[in-house]
Structure 1
């Protein structure tokens, strides 16, 4: 089971306030624990939404609409993520609870969401195999 720990933005992260050295060290230690446990798939912070772009589809079949950031509601903006693969929902919760306050100022909020697996979304065996083949190709490209 894969889970994404979504770190919500704060007014500080949206203002470009960088984490303290203490917080960076705490996050590195946490990430090391995830690596040692063999559950870490990815982890990254995101730049403020002022440099972001939103693409929306306001009408079915219509042309996409492009809007440059910044975006206003900080609680709805993502500041970073950690992707893990664990055996159970409970294990995912345990790892999320161990994450240091992602902003270090008592404003941190993490949303934990399970990632769909291919089989959850697709029932046609040919479509499932095609998707798995694409994912294998991506992994092979990473190794090259």
Structure 2
């Protein structure tokens, strides 16, 4: 049950994190995680001002410059694969590579949460209230879907 709750928390955080970055800026297909809520329903009706949209765009641009690009992610993957494909297993080498990857992932998560906080700080109290209400509804729907899925898995 603890794993299920942790999974639900992580999934909802990822959903909101990814959606907030791309959808608030109107970048529905290029932002990190934007595919999760590409229709923008979460932020529709918040009525961001032009100034807010400009500020969000600036935050997103700065955030994108910090994120790993595909070439960097591929290089990290290839580094691990080269160790795995060698004739002998180098546990110490694998640990070093994995620790480096985990450190980078941690930095990206921190940057993502910082971005969310910065974007939220741009919202008016009314916009924050609307956003919080939508997040609560989304969490409720996710919990219902997960409970439904768990119920189906238990009957198999």
Fold match, TM over 0.5? no
* Structure (1 or 2) with the greater helix fraction: 2
TM-score, length basis structure 2: 0.26
* Structure (1 or 2) with the greater strand fraction: 1
TM-score, length basis structure 1: 0.28
